[in-house]
Amino acid sequence: MKISIGNDHAGPDYKKAIVQFLEQNNHTILNHGTDTFESVDYPDFGHSVAYDIQVKNADLGIVICGSGNGIAMTANKHQDVRAALCWTKEIAELARQHNDANIISIPARYVSIPQAVAMVETFLTTNFEGGRHAKRVNKIACK
What's the CATH number where 83 sits?
3.40.1400.10
User: Is the residue at 21 inside a domain?
Assistant: yes
- pLDDT at position 130 is 85
The reply to whether the predicted model has a pTM over 0.85 is yes
User: Is the residue at 143 inside a domain?
Assistant: no
- pLDDT at position 139 is 85
User: Is the residue at 8 inside a domain?
Assistant: yes
- pLDDT at position 69 is 97
Report the chain (143 residues): mean pLDDT per 10 consecutive residues: 98 98 98 96 97 98 98 96 98 97 98 98 95 88 77
Q: What are phi and psi of 128, to 5 degrees?
A: -70, 135
The H or E element containing residue 78 is none
Beta strands in 66-134 (DSSP E): 83-85, 103-107
**Residue 98 is among the residues annotated as catalytic for this protein:** yes
Among the listed residues 27, 47, 98, 133, the single catalytic one is: 98
User: Is the residue at 16 inside a domain?
Assistant: yes
User: Is the residue at 13 inside a domain?
Assistant: yes
Give dist(CA 4, CA 60) in Å, integer. Answer: 6
User: Is the residue at 9 inside a domain?
Assistant: yes
State the total domains in the chain: 1
Beta strands in 23-71 (DSSP E): 28-31, 60-65
Domain that holds residue 118: 2-137
User: Is the residue at 101 inside a domain?
Assistant: yes
User: Is the residue at 142 inside a domain?
Assistant: no
Q: What are phi and psi of 55, to 5 degrees?
A: -95, 10
